[in-house]
Amino acid sequence: MRTNSSTTVSEEIIFLNLVLGIASFIQTGAGILGNVFLLWHYLFIFLFVHRPRPIDSIFFHLALANSIMLISKGVPQTMVGLGLKISLDHIGCKLIIFVHRVARSLSLSLACLLSGFQIITISSSTFSLVSDLKANASKLIKPLCFFCWILHIQINIFVFVNMKNFVGSSNSTRIWHMGFCSNFIPASFKVSLFVILYCLPDFLYVGFMVLVSGSLVLVLQRHHQQVQHIHRSSLSSKRSSEMRATYTILVFVSIYVSFTLANSILSVYLFEFEKSFGWLIPTSALLAACFPAISPFVFISCDSQILHFFYSLWGKKRSQDSLFPRSSTAHHSTSILTRRYL
């Protein structure tokens, strides 16, 4: 009876891991394709468009960080889930952790930079500091993007430098299971330090994102109310640009906040309890990959510039007026405002 019971449990675990592996394969593959498409699109803009939008630099670096994040951890996690063997030594495991942490931190910080740039751009505040930032925002985007790369690479250097290989007794080390590899870390590396180093930045990013995005929604809604009487004749035929931008912000922030917090909480649990359910590790990897995998499709579906590029690639390019008709002069002015976000 015990043998049959253990066999059944083992089969259920294998089946569950296979399902998670297939889900990871679909998620990683779709996410990489979406981000590569964005990279291709923005490279085309940088090379052939005379005056690209300043915000395109943030989208490009965000797509690049998301691609690295999915490739560094999503691909090996998918291979393990599908039953393929991966042989990584301690150096290889630490290198993957380092690259993934840099890409993840960069992705989160660039998302905050994107929201911060938007609230400064559309803000009507008369404060001198806000006015100065608004005047120089477009010039600061590229330096800030490269600064984020340098900053997060330096911050995460400790993954290589400070976590040494311990070959001593089990009392001096503990094993940190990553799913596709295991890393030896000092036993003195407690969960409180893990929360401070790994989770506290996530909570700060989430708090900033919620605050700034909430302000963006309020600004767009206020502008929508101010010009609502001009749109009355066309409200039934076309959703206003402000509402479209508001929905985009809400979807983007919901994905960002929910999956970032869920992954951080589950990561703390997995770090604290070494013996846990085997399916939690691939589940944590799925949660971590949700934002970089879904966000490119949010941008693609809401940016008319990207949609035009997509249709032109497939030989279905139409005139701009037939694809995205503008009902009035007021609609044109509001679309200029919201295009800074979309």
Can you give the three-state secondary structure of the chain, one letter per residue? CHHHHHHHHHHHHHHHHHHHHHHHHHHHHHHHHHHHHHHHHHHHHHHHCCCCCCCHHHHHHHHHHHHHHHHHHHHHHHHHHCCCCCCCCHHHHHHHHHHHHHHHHHHHHHHHHHHHHHHHHHCCCCCHHHHHHHHHHHHHHHHHHHHHHHHHHHHCCHHHHCCCCCCCCCCCEEEEECCCCEEEEECCCCHHHHHHHHHHHHHHHHHHHHHHHHHHHHHHHHHHHHCHHHHCCCCCCCCCHHHHHHHHHHHHHHHHHHHHHHHHHHHHHHHHCCCCCCCHHHHHHHHHHHHHHHHHHHHHHHCHHHHHHHHHHCCCCCCHHHHCCCCCHHHHHHHHHHHCCC
123 contacts 54 by C-beta, under 8 angstroms:
no
Residue at 211 is within a domain: yes
The pLDDT assigned to 69 comes to 93
Which tokens sit at 60?
């490009």
Query: Does residue 5 lie within any of the structural domains?
Result: no
Q: Is the pLDDT of residue 331 over 90?
A: no
124 has pLDDT over 80: no
Question: What was the pLDDT predicted at 151?
Answer: 92
Q: Name the percent of the chain lying above pLDDT 90.
A: 18
pLDDT at residue 167, as a whole number? 38
pLDDT on residue 5: 54
Per-residue pLDDT band at 292 (split at 50, 70, 90): very high
Residue 6 belongs to a domain: no
The pLDDT, as a whole number, for residue 237 is: 42
114 pLDDT above the threshold of 80: yes
Segment 52-106, tens digit of pLDDT:
888 889 999 999 999 999 999 888 888 888 888 777 777 888 888 889 999 999 9
| Residue with more model confidence, 91 or 242 | 91
Which residue in this structure is represented by tokens 């989770």? 199
Q: What is the average per-residue pLDDT within 221-236?
A: 60
**Residue 36: pLDDT over 90:** yes
- Say if 232 falls within a structural domain: yes
- pLDDT at position 342: 45
The residue type of 283 is T
- For residue 33, is it within any domain? yes
Residues of the chain above pLDDT 70, percent: 72
* 78, two tokens: 């998918």
Higher pLDDT, 330 or 137: 137
Instruction: Report the predicted TM-score, pTM, of the whole model to 2 decimal places.
Output: 0.80
Q: Total domain count for the chain?
A: 1
Residue of higher predicted confidence among 286 and 94:
286
Any domain includes 2: no
- 341, pLDDT greater than 90: no
State the pLDDT at residue 175: 72
Residue-wise pLDDT tens digits, 172-208: 667 777 777 777 777 667 777 778 878 888 889 889 9
pLDDT digits (tens, 9 = 90+) for 9-34: 567 777 887 888 899 999 999 999 99
Q: What confidence score (pLDDT) does residue 277 get? A: 62
Examine residue 59 and state whether it is found in any structural domain, yes or no: yes
User: How confident is the prediction for the chain on average, in pLDDT?
Assistant: 76
In one-letter notation, the amino acid at residue 138 is S
In a domain, 117, yes or no: yes
Q: Is pLDDT larger for residue 308 or for residue 112?
A: 112
Distance CA 248, CA 338 (A): 11
Question: What is the residue whose two structure tokens read 């070959």?
Answer: 167
Most confident of 64-78, 106-120, 159-173: 64-78
Mean pLDDT in residue range 201-221: 84
Please report the pLDDT score of residue 137 as a whole number.
77
- Span 127-145, pLDDT tens digits: 666 667 777 777 888 899 9
Tell me the CATH number at 110.
1.20.1070.10
pLDDT at 257: 87
Place of tokens 């691609």: 67
pLDDT of residue 149: 94
Whether residue 6 is predicted with pLDDT greater than 50 in this model: the reply is: yes
Please give the residue range of the domain that contains residue 175. Answer: 12-339
